Chain A
């Protein structure tokens, strides 16, 4: 039995959508969530699983810290686990320029109350003897963690169901129109639903919906090259990252080593394809064996990627619509939405129910794309050439509409 009307409709059954649904329902709202496929199948389910607090966009710390508290409380809140492990995160530099950047990150983290350990070469040899001597400096944050993305979103979705949320999987939305002060949603099977408030959490597919309401953002789809090794005896406990992005790795409790890296590859959101060029796999294999020599004989058993929505300034869109009261956006998480997912859901629920959230989110307003998009310096090393990514085209489109 499905509803004809609901308080809040959410489009997109990724991590953002299900957490938003969960918090809204917990406060008594009737919520219907539409997912074109199944919950947590896209970037929410295919990402690396990093819950890293170090080195984030400075304006995002209040949100990240709020979100982290929710991850730390996941099992009590959600009623099942997601392999959350507070492993700590070791952030490594290979030269003095990189070390200076690490130090800058560390100062930002500390200004938000995080405990950051600074490690000199002698500390690294003593505490992390498996680490290549190429690493000349590192910072360690014990509160950083990891979780299994394949399990997290379905678990939150089930908790939302228990709170009374209606979840419609395999229900692509074909039309969204204004209906009085609210909205009318039609799905591919021809069914309709009226709602007072609407959350656009459709990930790499969200722009289409924003454009129905006269606003846009230059989202493009890309995915990181990732791989996993066979289970190996435990070598390293913390998640591990080099500041040049050549290695982002963790070893799961089962012993598999999971790796993600740069540069990201353009993905095709329409055909639902996120290729992993073998040359990138080989480069990442070299980088991992170089950083953790004990893994040189570990075998890669599978590569994968996932379709993630990116924006040229490398920060997401979170907040109310500029054009349409009652419409809220949360998309374009630029490959770092996993950690802030729960916090975004909580903040959106507050914005919808209380009119505002205590967490500052001004930096993430969709209106910033009314002027030509600022291209983040991260593009240099984190992506293939901007022309391959369609980023120039996206930025122009932003100008045209904005």
Chain B
């Protein structure tokens, strides 16, 4: 029997595993997390007195159903939590489990690696107390903690409202919800947003909730700095009317939408194309998520679409695997899934306009802003390297010259901003600046993982 390996136990991976099991396969499901669910549908750590039903709100039913479905799969899959895939070579996956390196072979590999927050730097963003927006939700769902007592939500994302609502609900104070995209841009994206009325209503509900709670809700802001002596004390921004405003806070949640975790897809040989709507390089696949023979991509790790799209794309990829193994096509199901996925991903493209990546703001950031958290590289260092004779105009060369993106995270965090800074300083569009190439290990691994040497 063919060895099918799914990496990622979020909605996409679970949906794919479910379908494969129903056709008699027993896929391996590798997940880095302690518990299945991915980031969005993350389950609390053990014995935490957290009312997830209340916290998930309108998503509670789906959240609970997904975990029920996964529990039902348990004895039909080879589930390997707490396992990192750190490299891929041909059909061999290199794993790290319990501090030790192992391998597993995959004839069909489905990567459902999810996403992380896309962030834009600003002065002060490395101060203790600044976290990603997704991180603010993870702290709550996973650990029952708020990232601060008085939190500023900054960026451009519908999740700013959602997270702020959850924080208020749990007894936190929201200092401000500050969105860099103006209301005019949001209005032009409205027709596209009608493709997913449920999500749109959730967003509007969040907005109304914020207004009722008296939380300052600003659109079209320019972030100026996060200030504080050793930790976050305030957020300084310029509002749409041009006034500088300072909000006292002890934490900032920062998020500009999501970016797919594509490092493994890169190592597995996927090709990437620049997507104008997201302003990101995304892996290239067919409608089913096929990236190359034997390699399938699904969920937010392939293209940002949210949990429902992740489930649909996971199921589609599973259909593709079944078909490629010679199974009979399930035409009607596939047609429904394809339509659903197209609609949801289309909706995300509209969202990406309503909550836009602030390209021009990033290009205008001051030189002394730290760009690479790992290697402590400022935007000025990047611009200076580019300005000299034979200066680089492509991100991988900029990385070689400046160390920006060369650290522990391999450019996961600074990558999108670096791309924008390089594009800005060289007069190119985002695509022209290129994409930071991934290299193994996709996350740091200790020398001891390789075991003892045998002299």
Docked complex Cα distance between A39 and B388 (Å)? 14
A269 contacts the other chain (CB 8 A)? no
For A12-47 the 0/1 string (1 means CB < 8 A from B) is 000000000000000000000000001101000100
- Complex contact A297–B89 (CB within 8 A): no
- Complex contact B401–A150 (CB within 8 A): yes
Docked complex Cα distance between A134 and B440 (Å)? 30
Complex contacts, A282 vs chain B, CB 8 Å: 101, 449-451
For residues 266 through 306 of chain A, which have their beta carbon under 8 Å from a beta carbon of chain B?
275-278, 281-283, 285-290, 295-304
Contact of A288 among B401, B447, B455 (CB under 8 A): B447
B453 contacts the other chain (CB 8 A)? yes
For B373-412 the 0/1 string (1 means CB < 8 A from A) is 0000000000000001110100001001100001110100
Complex contacts, B401 vs chain A, CB 8 Å: 150-151, 154
Docked complex Cα distance between A299 and B89 (Å)? 20
Task: Given A45-B400, A230-B408, A278-B87, answer yes or no on A289-B440 (Cβ-Cβ < 8 Å).
Answer: no
Contact of B89 among A169, A278, A289 (CB under 8 A): A278
- Complex contact A298–B447 (CB within 8 A): yes
Interface residue tally for chain B (C-beta within 8 Å): 31
Complex contacts, B331 vs chain A, CB 8 Å: none
Docked complex Cα distance between A119 and B445 (Å)? 33
A294 to chain B, nearest CB (A): 10
A158 contacts the other chain (CB 8 A)? yes
- Complex contact B449–A161 (CB within 8 A): no
B387 to chain A, nearest CB (A): 12
Contact of A154 among B86, B390, B407 (CB under 8 A): B390
A167 contacts the other chain (CB 8 A)? yes
B30 to chain A, nearest CB (A): 16
Docked complex Cα distance between A81 and B322 (Å)? 58
Chain A, Cβ-Cβ closest to B385? A154
Docked complex Cα distance between A45 and B399 (Å)? 12
- Complex contact A304–B449 (CB within 8 A): no
B102 to chain A, nearest CB (A): 11
B349 to chain A, nearest CB (A): 33
- Complex contact B440–A286 (CB within 8 A): no
B2 to chain A, nearest CB (A): 23
Docked complex Cα distance between A229 and B400 (Å)? 16
A135 to chain B, nearest CB (A): 11
Contact of A296 among B101, B445, B446 (CB under 8 A): B446
- Complex contact B390–A230 (CB within 8 A): no
B385 to chain A, nearest CB (A): 9
Chain A, Cβ-Cβ closest to B389? A158
For A136-166 the 0/1 string (1 means CB < 8 A from B) is 0000000000000011001001100100000
- Complex contact A303–B440 (CB within 8 A): yes
Complex contacts, B392 vs chain A, CB 8 Å: 38
Docked complex Cα distance between A289 and B455 (Å)? 12
- Complex contact B390–A158 (CB within 8 A): yes
B448 contacts the other chain (CB 8 A)? yes
Docked complex Cα distance between A295 and B447 (Å)? 7
Contact of B441 among A45, A288, A303 (CB under 8 A): A303
B407 to chain A, nearest CB (A): 7
B452 contacts the other chain (CB 8 A)? yes
Complex contacts, B406 vs chain A, CB 8 Å: 302
Complex contacts, A301 vs chain B, CB 8 Å: 407-408, 410, 441, 444
Chain B, Cβ-Cβ closest to A305? B439
B448 to chain A, nearest CB (A): 5
- Complex contact B390–A38 (CB within 8 A): yes
Complex contacts, B279 vs chain A, CB 8 Å: none
A263 to chain B, nearest CB (A): 16
For B413-455 the 0/1 string (1 means CB < 8 A from A) is 0000000000000000000000000011100111111111101
Docked complex Cα distance between A240 and B281 (Å)? 40
Docked complex Cα distance between A368 and B214 (Å)? 84
- Complex contact A286–B441 (CB within 8 A): no
- Complex contact B397–A41 (CB within 8 A): yes
Complex contacts, A383 vs chain B, CB 8 Å: none
- Complex contact A277–B390 (CB within 8 A): no
Contact of B453 among A151, A286, A303, A304 (CB under 8 A): A286
A99 to chain B, nearest CB (A): 15
Docked complex Cα distance between A299 and B452 (Å)? 15
B202 contacts the other chain (CB 8 A)? no
Docked complex Cα distance between A230 and B388 (Å)? 29
- Complex contact B453–A289 (CB within 8 A): yes
For residues 188 through 231 of chain A, which have their beta carbon under 8 Å from a beta carbon of chain B?
229-230
Chain A, Cβ-Cβ closest to B439? A302
Docked complex Cα distance between A277 and B88 (Å)? 9
A94 contacts the other chain (CB 8 A)? yes
- Complex contact A303–B439 (CB within 8 A): yes
Complex contacts, B440 vs chain A, CB 8 Å: 276, 278, 281, 302-303
Contact of A300 among B400, B407, B445, B451 (CB under 8 A): B445
B168 contacts the other chain (CB 8 A)? no
B279 to chain A, nearest CB (A): 25
- Complex contact A304–B390 (CB within 8 A): no
- Complex contact A289–B444 (CB within 8 A): no
B149 contacts the other chain (CB 8 A)? no
A13 to chain B, nearest CB (A): 9
B94 contacts the other chain (CB 8 A)? yes
A338 to chain B, nearest CB (A): 15
Complex contacts, A304 vs chain B, CB 8 Å: 439
- Complex contact A281–B397 (CB within 8 A): no
Complex contacts, A275 vs chain B, CB 8 Å: 89
Task: Given A286-B453, A299-B408, answer yes or no on A161-B389 (Cβ-Cβ < 8 Å).
Answer: yes
Task: Given A158-B390, A167-B390, answer yes or no on A299-B444 (Cβ-Cβ < 8 Å).
Answer: yes
A132 to chain B, nearest CB (A): 10
Complex contacts, A154 vs chain B, CB 8 Å: 390, 401
- Complex contact B94–A278 (CB within 8 A): yes
Complex contacts, B92 vs chain A, CB 8 Å: 278
Specify which of B87, B447, B452 lies most central, judged by the most chain A CB atoms within 10 Å of its CB.
Answer: B447
Contact of B444 among A157, A281, A290, A300 (CB under 8 A): A300
Task: Given A157-B390, A302-B410, answer yes or no on A285-B441 (Cβ-Cβ < 8 Å).
Answer: no
Docked complex Cα distance between A101 and B92 (Å)? 38
Chain B, Cβ-Cβ closest to A80? B388
Complex contacts, B444 vs chain A, CB 8 Å: 230, 299-301
B442 to chain A, nearest CB (A): 10
Complex contacts, B441 vs chain A, CB 8 Å: 281, 300-303
A158 to chain B, nearest CB (A): 5
Contact of A283 among B400, B446, B450 (CB under 8 A): B450
Chain B, Cβ-Cβ closest to A153? B390
Chain A, Cβ-Cβ closest to B89? A278
Chain A, Cβ-Cβ closest to B441? A300
Chain B, Cβ-Cβ closest to A159? B389
B171 to chain A, nearest CB (A): 37
- Complex contact B397–A286 (CB within 8 A): no
B269 to chain A, nearest CB (A): 10
For A49-63 the 0/1 string (1 means CB < 8 A from B) is 000000000000000
Docked complex Cα distance between A290 and B452 (Å)? 7
Complex contacts, A276 vs chain B, CB 8 Å: 439-440
Complex contacts, B451 vs chain A, CB 8 Å: 282, 286
Docked complex Cα distance between A290 and B447 (Å)? 10
Can you report 14 residue pairs joining A to B where beta carbons are below 8 Å apart?
A230-B407, A275-B89, A278-B89, A281-B440, A283-B450, A286-B447, A286-B451, A288-B447, A296-B446, A298-B446, A301-B444, A302-B439, A302-B441, A304-B439
Going nearest first, the 7 A-B pairs with the smallest beta carbon separation are A299-B444, A285-B450, A290-B453, A286-B453, A289-B447, A278-B87, A282-B450
Q: A285-B447, A303-B440 are in contact. List 6 more A-B contacts (CB 8 A).
A: A150-B400, A278-B94, A299-B446, A301-B407, A302-B410, A304-B439
Q: Which residues of B contact A (CB under 8 A)?
A: 86-87, 89, 92, 94, 101, 388-390, 392, 397, 400-401, 406-408, 410, 439-441, 444-453, 455
